[in-house]
Amino acid sequence: MLNLRKFFAGLPVLVALVFGSIAPGRSFAQAPAVPGFTRFYADAKAPSAEGGHLLFTSLNCNQCHASNKPSADAATKSAPILDGIGSRVKHAYLKKFLLDPHAVKPGTTMPNLFAGMEEAEKTTKVEALAHYLASTGKPTQPRPDRKGISLGRDLFSRVGCVACHGTRDGKGDQEKVFATSVPLGNIKAKYTLAGLSEFLANPHQTRPLGRMPGILAGKEASDVANYLLQGTIPGAAANNMKYAYYEGAWKNLPDFAKLKPKAQGEAADFELSVARRVNNVALRFEGFLKIDVAGTYTFHLTSDDGSRLWLDNKLVVNNDGIHPPTTKSGKTKLTKGMHKLVLAVFNGGGGFELKADVEGPGVGRQPLGALVHLSENIEPAKIAKGDPDYFPVQRELAAKGKELFGSIGCANCHQMQGEKNRLAAPAEAKLKGDAGCLAAAPKKGVPWFNLSGIQQKALRVALEKPRPDKNDVRDVVKTTLTAFNCYACHDRDRIGGVEDDVNKLFLTVMPEMGDEGRIPPSLTGVGAKLNVTYLEKIFENGSHDRPYMHTRMPKFGTSVGHLSDLFAKMDAPKKGPNVTFDQPIAKIKAAGRHMVGPQAFGCVKCHTFAGAKAEGVQGIDLTLLTQRLKKDWYHNYMINPSKYRPGTRMPSSFPDGMTLLKKVLDGKADTQIEAIWTYLADGKAASPPIGLNTKSTPLIPVAEAIIYRNFIQGAGARAIGVGFPEGAHLAFDANDIRLAMIWQGAFIDAHRHWTGRGVGYEPPAGENILKPQTGAGFYILAKQDEAWPAKPAKEIGYKFRGYRLTDDQRPTFLYSFHEIKIEDAPNAITTKGNPGIRRTFTITTDNPIDKLFYRAAVADRITAEKDGWFRIDNWRMRIESEATPVIRQAGSKMELLVPVRFKGNSAKIVQEYAW
């Protein structure tokens, strides 16, 4: 069915794609893009106050219209900090955007401050304001990185950008904008490579409240910037300084006069990439600083390790020594003209960073490299007058723009070099729903937000129904998740989650894990699951603890930190057992180490351990377990993983609360689960399990049976392989509840699953493979000629209930058919030197049933022999039972049915396979 909301929401984008750019002075009627409102409130039958309050905070209304309600600040969106905007954004773009924000960037939440003015007045004021903003810096253009384009495209499409911003094509242009996407606008017209790289690397520097979270690390930011801005970046940026490169070990900057450089050349800016290595190096940059206005200038150096700055042979900033990223500043008076500049930096080891800024008369804080020239007499080529980016800053207009910035209302929302707000507006409580910003048409002196009809109505309803004086915990959580668009990736209490439009864009390195490997986890009950300290950490710093998932958890800074405590208050975990040990802790940890290892539960087969790759699926690192999880939740999860995460690949090692390792510690599940926790509490200091990451070899049962649970060809994804020392083996399909295969010779080779990604199904390693059972084993037939059901066992009432092991690891599979309980105990035997399988069924029920049958075989031909033996095609089977088996025709096949005869409440059938 056509989704009209999504269709109409996409129309502005469609028109833009078809008809190209928009004529100056005309706006698209695309309302401000507030994803949470669009998703949850735009389709409402009636406008809601809740949606209106979301808009009020998302449009930053309280910056002008003060409120005394504490809930007003729960999810307020702040406007970008404009300090130094002239160094990040192209100057010509500033003017275009201010003239008509909604035309230049459809969907922007930035209001048009000049919408109600006459054209001449608007043009004059916008010109002045644009010159003021441009005066805060000069854009720099570092060298483009062609390799970064392909890397950036891959990052943009995989790490989570598309969840909020839609998809982009190979050229970095908008491809698909979904109804709830946050449009990026024409970023090629807006940003320089340096400006966008810096923003993507640290978005909170200019947008501190975290609505744009950080998701890229290191060079990734410049890779994505290269991808998004490809085609607009000129060839190589002009070199504007010289450099000399040195190698050596120092604790402070060396005396360069006594050293011979390893390399020399020219650079475009203070580029650390000219160094041939990272550790034990030093760089000396030299050029000329052009000063247009005489006065006192302040210089800032941020470096790791030490750095110094000299101007005209005078030391201005001393940031020397071994230290982490540290900023030092210095001032000096400079005359108009050229000044010789020398900047030196060194690195002993670890991180290598350098950032140099300058500010002074008429110059907002901006990168120093943009003002440096290679020669005292030569300047870089200026932007041509006919170039779209041509915009020479005029100081007189900038001064007028500075005055406007405070008087027209910009300072109400934007931080800018200490500018103070001088525009008064009515308090929230005094607002009227049909005036001011909510008026039907633009009015001079009033911001115009280009609101849609439903947005206007929702805001009016919100003004009539003020927010409560106190914050309700559930409301704050919901509001925060909505405002920060957390619902784009996560659901909580059946609200939100990945939308159909973008579902296929969430990818995994391990497709065999299904949705669990690619879709971010649900936040339902997350407060019961995760520790508060861990939540605080990932909210502030982000994380990528799931190596199989491309999408990352971004960092929001401190903006959503309050959710940590609120989740904990709302989601109380079910109390776990209180386990105490009567043995030395060293023995407990040793037991935990054994159980995690490949010879017991095999946790390291699917989980990384202290950074070491798992032998199969690369699950969350086990050494993070106690840092991440609350112990009560962990205990409950280990007993029944699928209850807490339906569809999980994580198997239950403790079916029905019973352990499979009866000889470990006291043989109780709770004790063993606690021992694993105790062992893993040492984190990365925990001793690795024995056998971790060793090369796998065929599994050879010697003194006892071997249980192998994995993807086995012919037995499904929930196969349980059993290898017996006698040389006959089997694979039980726990999903379809059947004996899928039996074979002889070698058991199985675990190499496929225990190394690399563990992809695919492994066949038996032996020979004489027989598939003795298809479909359900037991069924109630109203009459003997009734057809055997073709449906899978689970669909007709079967439930698999795990298995138990003997002292030598031989299993009894436990399952039920309605109220009938079945114990299926296969065992290997040797008859005259030939290995075989004997299967013993014990059937119990409180109400014995006369018409219960066991289908022992299905074949093309079945014939009876002596002593209970039957010939089944080319192999033989013997049945021991209280009733005589019946051979019957079933279509083109024959079936061997065994009537189940109860003695009291139980019955027994023994089945022997010889092949």
- Residue 817 CA: distances (Å) to CA of 4, 871, 914: 48, 28, 28
Q: Which helix (H) or strand (E) holds 492?
A: strand 491-492
Class of domain 585-685: mainly alpha
Alpha carbon distance 365, 140 (integer Å): 13
CATH code for the domain defined by 146-228? 2.60.40.420
- CATH 2.70.98 spans which residues of the chain? 702-748+761-914
Q: List, for residues 762-817, the tens digit of each pLDDT value.
A: 989 877 789 999 999 999 999 888 999 999 999 999 999 999 999 999 999 999 99
Alpha carbon distance 759, 762 (integer Å): 9
Res 741: pLDDT: 97
What does the block give as tokens for 277?
Answer: 């290595």
74-88, 464-478, 856-870: range with lowest mean pLDDT: 464-478
On the question of pLDDT at 586 being above 60, the answer is yes
Q: List, for residues 298-340, the tens digit of each pLDDT value.
A: 999 999 999 999 999 999 999 999 999 999 999 999 999 999 9
- CATH 2.60.40.420 spans which residues of the chain? 146-228
Dihedral sign, CA of 578, 579, 580, 586?
negative
Task: Indicate the pLDDT class of residue 219, thresholds 50, 70 and 90.
Answer: confident
Which candidate, 615, 586, 591, places its Cα nearest to that of 603? 615
Which residues make Cβ contacts (< 8 Å) with residue 99, sequence separation at least 6?
A: 24, 25, 114, 122, 123, 126
Q: List, for residues 368-417, the tens digit of each pLDDT value.
A: 887 899 998 865 456 666 666 778 889 899 999 999 998 898 999 999 87
* Per-residue exposure over 11-50, b if at least 16 CB sit within 10 Å of its own CB, e if not: ebbeebeeeeebeeeebbebbbbbbbbbbbbbeeeebbbb
Q: List, for residues 843-869, the tens digit of each pLDDT value.
A: 999 999 889 999 999 999 999 999 999
Looking at residue 788, its amino acid is W
Res 877: pLDDT: 97
On the question of pLDDT at 12 being above 60, the answer is no
Average pLDDT over residues 197-202: 90
Higher local confidence (pLDDT), 736 or 116: 736
The Cβ-side half-sphere exposure at 218, using a 13 Å CA radius, reads 5
Which candidate, 192, 380, 381, places its Cα nearest to that of 288? 380
Task: Indicate the pLDDT class of residue 603, thresholds 50, 70 and 90.
Answer: very high
Looking at residue 736, its amino acid is D
Which residues make Cβ contacts (< 8 Å) with residue 593, sequence separation at least 6?
A: 679, 686, 687, 689, 690
Task: Indicate the pLDDT class of residue 6, thresholds 50, 70 and 90.
Answer: very low
- CATH 1.10.760.10 spans which residues of the chain? 585-685
On the question of pLDDT at 534 being above 60, the answer is yes
Alpha carbon distance 734, 802 (integer Å): 8
Alpha carbon distance 529, 767 (integer Å): 47
On the question of pLDDT at 20 being above 50, the answer is no
Average pLDDT over residues 110-126: 94
Task: Indicate the pLDDT class of residue 422, thresholds 50, 70 and 90.
Answer: confident
Res 10: pLDDT: 44
Q: 600, 653 in Cβ contact below 8 A?
A: no
| Strands, sheet with 886-890, edge to edge from the N-terminal-most edge strand | 778-780, 852-859, 893-899, 886-890
17-21, 532-536, 634-638: range with lowest mean pLDDT: 17-21
Res 18: pLDDT: 32
Task: Indicate the pLDDT class of residue 13, thresholds 50, 70 and 90.
Answer: very low
Alpha carbon distance 564, 607 (integer Å): 26
The gap between the terminal CA atoms of the chain, to the nearest Å, is 56
Res 28: pLDDT: 40
What does the block give as tokens for 45?
Answer: 């039958």
**pTM of the predicted model as reported, rounded to 2 decimal places:** 0.62
Alpha carbon distance 353, 808 (integer Å): 60
Class of domain 241-373: mainly beta
User: What is the DSSP code string of 397-426?
Assistant: HHHHHHHHHHHSSHHHH---TT--------
- The vertex-175 CA angle with 169 and 176, nearest 5°, equals 140
Q: List, for residues 266-307, the tens digit of each pLDDT value.
A: 998 898 988 999 899 999 999 999 998 899 999 999 999 999
- CATH 2.60.120.1560 spans which residues of the chain? 241-373
The Cβ-side half-sphere exposure at 126, using a 13 Å CA radius, reads 23
Res 757: pLDDT: 76
Alpha carbon distance 371, 254 (integer Å): 26
Q: 653, 592 in Cβ contact below 8 A?
A: no
Please, which residues bridge with residue 166 across strands? none
- Residue 183 CA: distances (Å) to CA of 9, 212, 332: 12, 12, 44
Q: Average pLDDT of the chain? A: 89
Residue 884 CB burial class (10 angstroms; 0-12, 13-18, ≥19): exposed
Looking at residue 858, its amino acid is V
Q: Which helix (H) or strand (E) holds 464?
A: helix 453-464
**Angle formed by the axes of helices 473-483 and 49-58, nearest 10°:** 60
- Residue 305 CA: distances (Å) to CA of 198, 318, 439: 20, 12, 56
| Strands, sheet with 798-805, edge to edge from the N-terminal-most edge strand | 798-805, 811-817, 820-831, 834-844, 906-914, 875-880, 869-872, 862-864
Give backbone dihedrals phi and psi of 2, rounded to 5 degrees, phi first.
Answer: -70, 130
Which candidate, 292, 325, 523, places its Cα nearest to that of 395? 292
Q: List, for residues 222-280, the tens digit of each pLDDT value.
A: 899 999 998 876 544 568 899 999 999 999 999 999 999 999 999 988 989 889 998 99
What does the block give as tokens for 850?
Answer: 């006369």
On the question of pLDDT at 3 being above 50, the answer is no
Longest CA span, the chain: 115
Q: Does domain 702-748+761-914 have CATH number 2.70.98?
A: yes
